[in-house]
């Protein structure tokens, strides 16, 4: 039953789930894109037959065991019911273990049944046995208990909402909104603290959302719930970096290479075609190079533009020729971007102001015309030290290693230096503790700028609210590795994985990420700083690059990271300028943001007085989001096709 899907589950606090079934079925349709192959809605009773405890609904995209493994999936004579979104790559091995050790019986050939069987025999410890990406919910009819879990790094999403009626869980927030808005409308329903965080970070940090009351289960967390109780969320996995000196570098490089190779092999398990994204960087190129060892005919997909300096197509095509694989390119222009943005923002649920969403949308659309599954390179930078900003602690060491009194004096000097003068930023950052200066890759609006932009600026809401608990867990690590740890809990799951999941599923395409594998992390976690970022070099991910010598084309091994660049800076001064003005002028978000301030930023950018493209983009994406989800003045143009409905209303004894 390996399956991507959109799941929606309701657990009644009163045993009257039947009264909510039709509403759940209606809300499910906004998740059709996540699973167009099959629709299921089931009413579930407790073991005694006295209560209608739950409604399980799903949209299925079948990948393995296509003909069977319909969801929701029962186990142990109907005691348990499972709905599952994801892939368990070691399901064959776990299945054999469960049969050998417990005599477990299986009615399907898929991986979902392994989860629920594992829960039956191992309990909550089943989570630690799984290798893959997953968000699932299990209902135990005998104990009247819900149990759900999310994968190690937050690849697959799981949202929840508690009301007086009970507990709702869903793959995407939009499926919960019909049940969340009974007590408030419009801007009153917006979480303004998370709006402030969005304007700083360019995404809404977990576990919150921009809608009050709707939350996300975090990466490596599980939940439990029983009627009459409240949801309890606990963490079952925390990634632990343990860098240590390496006595034999070649042995380490061999281990990195072979672990990656095995992860790619596992991630290619599928009964449907598997392709891969391919950019100009080492991450996706490495995935393709290793994947072709198991499928020499693998199709690859790349995207670019006609704007000089921004397109990766030529380099990707060179890599494809070197690896002897086919790559299918897609080019997009400003008109494509403007037309697609409402759809993209609708799929996101919450705004993410990463321009790379747009090329990803189009390359995923092209890939979905040819395959059902693609491999991608997310996670390599966070695991292996791939961001240039990770070198900052090394470059600032001459200042931040000075005595406190000297640093205080230099801080005063930095304040006296005029803005824009060389050396000011260096002294400011060098005399600012890491916990205050680093909060991720994206830095949009400063606190001073947000005072101008936000109508109701709250100085008590700071980005340190998000990062302080994460820093508190990593005090024993060096500064570079602490930055990686912060990114695992902020940038990776707030930006990178949100766009990977939502934008691929927008096209009913499954993205698999071999770098974001627990075995790969265990190897990456022990690499010392000097082998991630050599002190006498500007290289990043050094150990990984060394490990991939001879695997990826020589031109790619030491190629600098481009980060999926998009020409929004150019287009906002030209083809997209009038469109941007129109979005700001017609937005209904003026009670939350001073849009005249944003308009001034746009005009200064147009006149090339400054590069405000990222700040303007952040406001534009929020305005589009507000028009769709709050003001409801913008129809994103989503087609809502329906799949075959498999409905089995079950109250009381449930056997299928």
d(CA 467, CA 85): 29
d(CA 59, CA 61): 7
504 annotated as belonging to a binding site for a ligand: no
Catalogue the E-assigned strands of 295-390.
Answer: 299-304, 326-331, 373-375
CB 127 within 8 A of CB 85: no
- Considering only the C-alpha atoms of the chain, give the largest distance between any 2 of them, rounded to a whole number of Å: 76
Count other Cβ atoms within 10 Å, centred on residue 346. Answer: 21
How many angstroms separate the Cα of 397 from the Cα of each of 213, 384, 440? 43, 21, 19
Task: State the DSSP string of 436-447.
Answer: HH-S-S-----H
CB 269 within 8 A of CB 131: no
What secondary structure letter does DSSP report for 90? T
Task: Given the residues 1, 4, 5, 556, select the one marked as catalytic.
Answer: 5
Looking at 473-567, list the stretches that DSSP marks H as alpha helix, in order from N- to C-terminal side: 479-489, 491, 497-505, 518-524, 529-532, 542-547, 554-557
What b/e sequence results for 540-562 when a residue is b if at least 16 CB atoms lie within 10 Å of its CB, and e otherwise?
A: bbbbbbbbbeebbbeebbebebe
Task: State the DSSP string of 598-616.
Answer: HHHHHHHHHTTSS--HHHH
5 is catalytic: yes
Question: Judging by DSSP bridges, how do beta strands 326-331 and 299-304 pair with one another?
Answer: parallel
**Hey, is 73 helix, strand or coil?**
strand
Count other Cβ atoms within 10 Å, centred on residue 255. Answer: 15
d(CA 157, CA 195): 20
What Rg, from alpha-carbon coordinates, does the chain have?
25
Q: Tell the burial category of 274 from Cβ atoms under 10 Å away from its Cβ (0-12, 13-18, 19+).
A: buried
111 annotated as belonging to a binding site for a ligand: yes
CB 487 within 8 A of CB 480: no
How many angstroms separate the Cα of 125 from the Cα of each of 99, 269, 421, 621? 17, 24, 56, 41
Question: Judging by DSSP bridges, how do beta strands 73-75 and 80-88 pair with one another?
Answer: antiparallel
Instruction: State which H helix or E strand residue 10 sits in.
Output: strand 3-12
CB 394 within 8 A of CB 539: no
314 annotated as belonging to a binding site for a ligand: no
Annotated binding residues for ATP, written as ranges, equal: 303, 376-377
As annotated, the binding site for L-glutamine includes 111
Q: Catalytic residue positions?
A: 5
């Amino acid at each position: 039953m390996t399956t991507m899907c959109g799941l929606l589950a309701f657990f009644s606090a009163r045993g009257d789930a039947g009264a909510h079934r039709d509403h759940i079925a209606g809300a499910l349709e906004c998740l059709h894109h996540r699973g167009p192959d099959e629709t299921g809605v089931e009413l579930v009773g407790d073991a005694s037959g006295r209560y209608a405890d739950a409604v399980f609904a799903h949209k299925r995209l079948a990948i393995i065991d296509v003909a069977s493994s319909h969801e929701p999936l029962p186990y142990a004579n109907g005691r348990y019911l499972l709905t599952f979104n994801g892939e368990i790559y070691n399901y064959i091995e776990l299945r054999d273990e469960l049969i050998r050790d417990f005599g477990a019986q299986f009615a399907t050939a898929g991986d979902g049944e392994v989860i629920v069987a594992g829960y039956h025999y191992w309990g909550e410890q089943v989570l630690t046995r799984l290798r893959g990406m997953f968000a699932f919910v299990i209902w135990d009819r005998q104990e009247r208990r819900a149990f759900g879990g999310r994968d190690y790094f937050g690849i697959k999403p799981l949202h929840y909402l508690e009301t007086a009626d009970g507990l709702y869980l869903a793959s995407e927030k939009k499926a919960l909104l019909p049940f969340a808005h009974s007590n408030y409308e419009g801007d009153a329903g917006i979480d303004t603290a998370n709006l402030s965080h969005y304007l700083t970070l360019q995404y809404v940090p977990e576990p919150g959302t921009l809608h009050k009351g709707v939350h996300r289960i975090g990466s490596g967390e599980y939940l439990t719930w029983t009627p009459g109780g409240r949801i309890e969320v606990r963490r079952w996995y925390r990634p632990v970096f343990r860098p240590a000196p390496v006595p034999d570098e070649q042995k380490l490089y061999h281990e990195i290479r072979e672990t990656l190779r095995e992860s790619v092999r596992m991630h290619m398990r599928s009964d449907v075609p598997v392709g891969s994204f391919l950019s100009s960087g080492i991450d996706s190129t490495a995935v393709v190079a290793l994947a072709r060892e198991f499928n020499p005919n693998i199709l690859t997909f790349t995207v670019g533009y006609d704007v000089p300096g921004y397109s990766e197509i030529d380099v990707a095509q060179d890599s494809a020729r070197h690896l002897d694989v086919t790559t299918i390119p897609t080019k997009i222009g400003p008109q494509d971007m403007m037309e697609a943005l409402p759809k993209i923002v609708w799929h996101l649920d919450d705004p993410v102001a990463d321009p790379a969403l747009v090329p990803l949308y189009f390359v995923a659309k092209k890939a979905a015309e040819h395959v059902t599954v693609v491999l991608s390179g997310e996670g390599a930078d966070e695991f292996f030290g791939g961001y240039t900003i990770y070198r900052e602690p090394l470059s600032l060491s001459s200042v931040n290693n000075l005595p406190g009194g000297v640093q205080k004096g230099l801080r005063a000097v930095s304040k006296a230096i005029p803005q824009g003068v060389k050396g000011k930023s260096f002294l400011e950052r060098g005399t600012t503790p890491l916990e205050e200066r680093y909060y991720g890759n994206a830095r949009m609006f400063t606190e001073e700028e947000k005072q101008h932009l936000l109508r109701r600026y709250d100085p008590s809401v700071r980005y340190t609210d998000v990062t302080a608990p994460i820093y508190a867990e990593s005090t024993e690590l060096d500064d570079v590795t602490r930055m990686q740890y912060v990114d695992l809990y902020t940038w990776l799951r707030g930006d990178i994985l949100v766009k990977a999941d939502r934008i691929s599923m927008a096209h009913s395409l499954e993205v698999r990420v071999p770098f974001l594998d627990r075995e790969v992390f265990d190897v990456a976690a022990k690499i010392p700083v000097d082998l991630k970022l050599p002190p006498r070099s500007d290289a990043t991910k050094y150990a990984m690059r060394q490990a991939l010598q001879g695997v990826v084309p020589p031109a790619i091994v030491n190629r600098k990271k481009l980060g999926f660049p998009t020409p929004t800076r150019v287009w906002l001064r030209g083809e997209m300028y009038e469109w941007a003005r129109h979005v700001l002028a017609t937005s209904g978000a003026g009670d939350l943001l001073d849009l005249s301030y944003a308009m001034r930023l746009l005009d200064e950018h147009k006149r090339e007085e400054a590069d405000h493209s990222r700040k303007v983009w952040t406001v534009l994406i929020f305005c589009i989001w507000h028009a769709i989800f709050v003001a409801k003045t913008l129809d994103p143009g989503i087609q809502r096709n329906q799949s075959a409905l498999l409905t089995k209303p079950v109250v009381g004894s449930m056997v299928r």
